[in-house]
């Protein structure tokens, strides 16, 4: 099979989906590997390093899409790529399909086979860990007076107290935020809707962080004394109210900070997405940091960890075929988004009102002994395609 590594073109994105290490292993499996020139430059991997591991270097994305059976990248497809997708071509990237209807339509129209990477991780995405850990530091940076923040130091100075931070969500992102803040001496509260998760967090940090059930009452009560809020909640796209509304933002002291790591529209009323080039804005006197691809700032570390985590998927697909790989790995199966013109992603069906078909049905493997995996989200859709 011909496997292609694209250079990501999202603004402020420096990561790469495969490093020379992964290229070496894919090539050793007997596949041809094509790498777009400059694909690894932003994360510290030279074209020469890829060539030394057997990759064929090409100049343009058009050559990758035109030549390769299997194409991979880090972030969503841009409009300039829609027309390059081909029927039966396998593509793997972070699609975030439920939030991108035009992108989904392009995938369906092309009749390609698309996997959305964020749903494929059995042990959680390294990108989540990276977003949490680096996001924690971005919040501290945003708190500096030179950015419009209060000008408080994380663990204080002699006679001056340190910061109070609120982490919303106790998943991989939230735990990663808390780990950095706790190690630096901040006063940390973590909120989650699952008391079991909160108990785990208490044990993880030797009961040195505060935990509370996440609800609007508790958040509203605590916000006026919080210096930095980190939103790490995967907010339901069909939610009818904000987790933090404008009035709640207004209750925070001037120069406080909100870091929206999750970047889900509808969670925080004052949110709008920003980029690394212009990462902050001030609304209601509060500094907002809302960059959607925080891990891109630590591109080399994230690329190494992320590429290693998705390599088994790549090798399995190329060895066993799409159906065989999805039979063997339920997390890969649930990440199948479109298949030859059919939508196979339940959340996208529910949010966009599109009919869908289960991956195991369209792949005709429902009668096999499938590796199990929990649903990627709690969003359900009974809007099935009638076959």
Q: Which two tokens stand for residue 23?
A: 């290229």
3-class state of residue 260 by DSSP: strand
One of 192, 260, 264, 329 is an active-site residue; which one?
A: 264
Give the list of residues 6+ apart from residue 66 with CB closer than 8 angstroms, or none: 84, 86
3-class state of residue 34 by DSSP: strand
Backbone conformation region of residue 340, classed left if phi is above 0, alpha if psi is from -120 to 50, else beta: left
Q: Are 90 and 322 in contact (CB under 8 A)?
A: yes
3-class state of residue 182 by DSSP: helix
Taking the CB of residue 240, how many other CB atoms lie within 10 A of it? 6
Whether residue 96 lies in the annotated active site: yes
Is residue 45 packed enough to be buried (19+ CB in 10 Å), middle (13-18) or exposed (0-12)? buried
Backbone conformation region of residue 264, classed left if phi is above 0, alpha if psi is from -120 to 50, else beta: beta
* Interaxial angle between packed helices 195-204 and 172-183, expressed in degrees from 0 to 180 and rounded to the nearest 10: 30
Q: Which two tokens stand for residue 287?
A: 């500094």
Q: Are 312 and 320 in contact (CB under 8 A)?
A: no
Give the Cα separation of 125 and 144 in Å (integer): 30
Catalytic residue numbers read 96, 264
């Amino acid at each position: 099979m011909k496997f292609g590594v694209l250079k990501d073109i999202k603004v402020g994105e420096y990561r790469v989906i495969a490093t020379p290490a992964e290229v070496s292993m894919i090539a050793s499996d007997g596949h041809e590997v094509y790498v777009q020139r400059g694909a690894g430059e932003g994360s510290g991997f030279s074209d020469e390093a890829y060539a030394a591991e057997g990759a064929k270097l090409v100049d343009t994305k058009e050559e990758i899409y035109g030549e390769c059976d299997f194409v991979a990248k880090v972030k969503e497809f841009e409009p300039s790529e829609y027309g390059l997708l081909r029927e039966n071509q396998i593509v793997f990237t972070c699609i975030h399909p439920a939030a991108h209807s035009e992108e989904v339509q392009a995938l369906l129209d092309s009749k390609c086979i698309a996997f959305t990477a964020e749903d494929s991780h059995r042990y959680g995405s390294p990108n989540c860990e990276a977003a949490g850990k680096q996001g924690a530091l971005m919040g501290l940076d945003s708190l500096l007076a030179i950015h419009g923040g209060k000008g408080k130091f994380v663990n204080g100075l002699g006679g001056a107290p340190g910061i109070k931070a609120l982490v919303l969500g106790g998943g991989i992102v939230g735990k990663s935020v808390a780990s950095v803040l706790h190690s630096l001496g901040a006063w940390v509260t973590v909120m989650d809707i699952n008391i079991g998760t909160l108990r785990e967090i208490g044990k993880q940090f030797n009961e040195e962080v505060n935990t509370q059930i996440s609800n609007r009452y508790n958040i509203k009560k605590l916000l006026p004394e919080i210096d930095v809020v980190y939103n790490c909640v995967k907010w339901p796209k069909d939610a009818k109210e904000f987790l933090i509304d404008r009035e709640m933002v207004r209750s925070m002291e001037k120069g406080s900070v909100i870091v929206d790591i999750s970047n889900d529209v509808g969670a925080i009323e004052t949110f709008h997405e920003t980029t690394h080039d212009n990462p902050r804005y001030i609304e209601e006197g509060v500094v907002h940091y809302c960059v959607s691809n925080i891990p891109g700032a630590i591109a080399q570390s994230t690329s190494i960890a992320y590429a290693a985590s998705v390599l088994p998927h790549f090798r399995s697909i190329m060895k066993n075929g799409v159906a065989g790989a999805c039979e063997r790995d339920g997390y890969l199966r649930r990440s199948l988004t479109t298949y030859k013109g059919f939508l196979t992603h339940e959340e996208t069906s529910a949010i966009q009102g599109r009919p869908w078909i289960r991956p195991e049905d369209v792949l005709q493997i429902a009668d096999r002994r499938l590796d199990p995996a929990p649903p990627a989200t709690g969003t359900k859709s009974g809007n099935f395609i009638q076959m």
